[in-house]
């Protein structure tokens, strides 16, 4: 108890003034106008309204980040909105174009399967050995093509590293939203070995994709097929695939996040997340723990939605390589011992500068990529309302 009192005496600094916060938000305001102010970007009035709402939304969240000094809760609002609005616009587009969420075989033969980022690691070995992409899409002809998504992924990974999973992934927001619902976790003891599971899934799926010459994860294990599109069940095998998708979605994206308050699909299952962790090594931004300030209360470990902190890593002053840079640990630390950090610089020396440089990069990407998806979702909803 005495320790708690001492911790609480190190209060968070006072919020920034409104004018200074507005000044810091100005670059994002200009960026949002650039992204959503293009009159040719949307053809009709509803498109302009959706773009304007999105721009105001993204700028307001960034302003609150600047004003309060807190990152996680404002980012979470964006991320959950992204996770909810993506399926709305995606499913609507599918139903309008095809009348169903099930992708028929003729669409696959025609190369019209939209390519998401999940199969990227699965394509590498077949492409390396045979120059063949094992995905029924087109390489370059549409905005949903393989090359377009690979281009987006490479550029955003260069900027964000594993931060992709907190600022760009259009799936993770669903479970982050579910995890935010209960006040307390019902299951608190989580086996730390479970955090190695995504690596096992990644290895298995990469090898299976090479052996079967198909995107094995998409065909068999992707929980998000339940809210996007799936192979139309032509036979018993297809039915089994779809039952697996629904069970995995219900278990990993709804039930377990609710019980644990963690992003369990991301922490325990997602092979793309494991693959993306590799790119944290080349990212210049990271989280560091100032060991002199840290009295290991492990609030950060409890707050981390991705199990990216352990007792050992805290003792060493680092997060694990799966850290998504969501900022939950920084926000919760009562001693401000966890800080945003630029590699090569002294730990805890002007951490706000590191935070700002990361957030400008990350939020610019969030506005450009996630923002456009949010705008489409809002457009779909407006389309139904008006």
Partner 1 sequence: MKLRATLGYTAAALTVLAALLTPFLLMGLFSKGFVALGFHVDEMYSGGPKVRAIPMGAYSIDVHRPVYPHMLQNEKPFVQLDWQPVSALPQHISDTVDIDGDGQPDIRVSFDVPRDPKAPLHVDVDSLNPRYEAMRNAGKEKYSRLIVRVDKAILVRVSLRNP
- Which residues of the chain form contacts with partner 1 (CB under 8 A)? 31, 35, 104-106, 108-111, 126-127, 130-140, 146-148, 150-152, 154-156, 158-159, 210-214, 234-235, 284-285, 342-346, 354, 357-358, 360-362, 364-365, 368
* Distance of closest approach, residue 260 Cβ to partner 1, in angstroms: 33
- Which residue's CB is nearer to partner 1, number 301 or number 361? 361
Return the residue matching tokens 């992709």.
Answer: 164
Q: What is the dihedral of CA 75, 78, 79, 82, to 10 degrees?
A: -170
Q: How many CB atoms lie within 10 A of CB 5?
A: 8
Structure tokens at 119: 């199969």
- Which residue's CB is nearer to partner 1, number 284 or number 297? 284
Instruction: Please give the full DSSP string across 275-311, using - where no structure is assigned.
Output: HHHGGGGT-SEEEEE-TTT-----HHHHH-TT----H
* Distance of closest approach, residue 364 Cβ to partner 1, in angstroms: 4
Classify strands 338-342 and 230-231 as parallel, antiparallel or unpaired.
Answer: unpaired
* Distance of closest approach, residue 82 Cβ to partner 1, in angstroms: 17
With vertex at residue 37, the alpha carbon angle to CA 384 and CA 367, rounded to the nearest 5 degrees, is 80
- Which residue's CB is nearer to partner 1, number 141 or number 298? 141
- Which residue's CB is nearer to partner 1, number 5 or number 143? 143
Is 277 in contact with 162 (CB distance < 8 Å)?
A: yes
- Which residue's CB is nearer to partner 1, number 24 or number 178? 24
Name the maximum alpha-carbon separation found in the chain. Answer: 68
- Which residue's CB is nearer to partner 1, number 179 or number 210? 210
Q: How many CB atoms lie within 10 A of CB 343?
A: 11
What are the backbone angles phi and psi of residue 130, rounded to the nearest 5°?
A: -130, 0
DSSP designation for 252? I
* Distance of closest approach, residue 4 Cβ to partner 1, in angstroms: 35
* Distance of closest approach, residue 155 Cβ to partner 1, in angstroms: 4
């Amino acid at each position: 108890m005495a320790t708690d009192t001492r911790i609480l005496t190190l209060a968070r600094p006072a919020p920034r003034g409104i004018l200074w916060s507005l000044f810091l938000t100005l670059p994002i305001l200009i960026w949002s106008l650039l992204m959503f102010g293009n009159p040719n970007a949307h053809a009709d009035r509803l498109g302009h309204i959706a773009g304007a709402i999105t721009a105001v939304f993204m700028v307001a969240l960034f302003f609150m980040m600047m004003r309060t000094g807190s990152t996680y809760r404002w980012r979470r609002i964006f991320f959950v909105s992204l996770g909810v609005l993506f399926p709305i616009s995606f499913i609507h587009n599918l139903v309008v174009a095809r009348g169903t969420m099930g992708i028929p075989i003729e669409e696959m033969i025609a190369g019209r399967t939209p390519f998401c980022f999940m199969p990227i690691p699965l394509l590498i070995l077949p492409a390396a050995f045979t120059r063949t992409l094992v995905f029924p899409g087109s390489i370059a002809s549409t905005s949903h093509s393989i090359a377009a998504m690979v281009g987006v992924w490479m550029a955003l990974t260069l900027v964000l590293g594993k931060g992709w999973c907190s600022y760009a992934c259009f799936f993770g927001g669903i479970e982050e939203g579910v995890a935010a619902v209960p006040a307390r976790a019902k299951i608190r003891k989580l086996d730390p070995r479970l955090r190695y599971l995504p690596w096992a899934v990644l290895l298995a799926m990469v090898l299976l994709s090479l052996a079967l010459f198909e995107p094995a994860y998409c065909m068999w294990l992707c929980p998000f097929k339940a809210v996007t599109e799936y192979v139309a069940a032509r036979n018993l095998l297809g039915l089994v695939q779809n039952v697996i998708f629904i069970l995995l979605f219900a278990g990993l994206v709804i039930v377990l996040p609710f019980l644990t308050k963690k992003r369990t699909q991301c922490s325990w299952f997602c092979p793309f997340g494991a693959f993306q962790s590799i790119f944290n090594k080349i990212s210049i931004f990271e989280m560091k723990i100032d060991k002199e300030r840290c009295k290991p209360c492990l609030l950060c470990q409890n707050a981390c939605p991705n199990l990216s902190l352990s007792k050992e890593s805290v003792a060493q002053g680092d997060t694990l390589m799966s850290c998504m840079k969501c900022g939950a640990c920084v926000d919760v630390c009562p001693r401000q011992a966890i800080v945003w950090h630029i590699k090569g610089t002294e730990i805890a020396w002007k951490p706000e500068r590191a935070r700002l440089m990361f957030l400008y990069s990350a939020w610019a990407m969030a506005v450009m990529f996630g923002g456009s998806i949010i705008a489409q979702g809002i457009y779909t909803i407006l389309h139904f309302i008006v």
